[in-house]
């Protein structure tokens, strides 16, 4: 009798811990954040190296959303990222820039939004045209060693 009761209590604890992990997973990845008054934007990158679904979207170091989807555009062969922004009241100017940034030399990546100064805002579902992919450390080192033009490593990409 007591073994059955202990098994039932242990099973309840396991289910509670599993539910806690599920809640944490939803909050950490931002899966459900656009349904609560947020909106999505799309940004097209030459390379989305280091970015995955759930990667933070930040502005001025503050998390404002996350990457909710990734796909390869078959026409342009670029990575199209769906950026889910939490706050529907946060409207970005249409000349805002999205760039893949790194937390440090060996740190993770995130999408940094740099707001522009245009008088018109991006509507939900709009495309961010000014993007910059991550600078690959091996490519940068190779250009330094071989003496290639390092100015081609960065800069704003054309859509």
- pLDDT for the residue 28: 63
**What average pLDDT does the structure give for the chain?**
83
The total number of structural domains in the chain stands at 2
In a domain, 157, yes or no: no
pLDDT at 156 over 70: no
Percent of the chain at pLDDT exceeding 70:
84
What does pTM read for this prediction? 0.67
In a domain, 152, yes or no: no
67 and 13 in a common domain? no
pLDDT-based confidence at residue 107 (cuts at 50, 70, 90): confident
pLDDT at 90 over 90: no
pLDDT at 43 over 90: yes
124 and 49 in a common domain? yes
124 and 74 in a common domain? yes
49 and 19 in a common domain? no
Domain that holds residue 1: 1-30
With 0-12 CB in 10 A as exposed, 13-18 as middle and 19+ as buried, what is 29?
Answer: middle
Segments of 73-155 assigned E as strands: 79-85, 97-102, 109-114, 127-128, 130-132
């Amino acid at each position: 009798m007591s073994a059955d009761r202990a098994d039932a209590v242990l099973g309840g604890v396991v289910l509670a811990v599993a539910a806690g992990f599920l809640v944490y997973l939803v909050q950490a990845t931002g899966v459900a954040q656009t349904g609560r008054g947020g909106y999505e934007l799309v940004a097209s990158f030459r390379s989305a190296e280091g970015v995955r679904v759930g990667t933070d979207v930040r502005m001025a170091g503050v998390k404002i959303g996350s990457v909710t989807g990734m796909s390869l555009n078959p026409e342009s062969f670029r990575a199209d990222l769906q950026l889910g922004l939490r706050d529907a009241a946060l409207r970005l100017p249409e000349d805002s820039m999205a760039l893949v940034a790194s937390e440090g030399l060996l740190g993770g990546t995130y999408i940094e939004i740099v707001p522009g100064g245009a008088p018109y805002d991006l509507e939900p579902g709009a495309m961010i045209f000014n993007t910059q992919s991550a600078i690959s450390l091996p490519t940068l080192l190779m250009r330094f060693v071989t003496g290639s033009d390092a100015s081609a490593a960065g800069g704003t990409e054309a859509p």
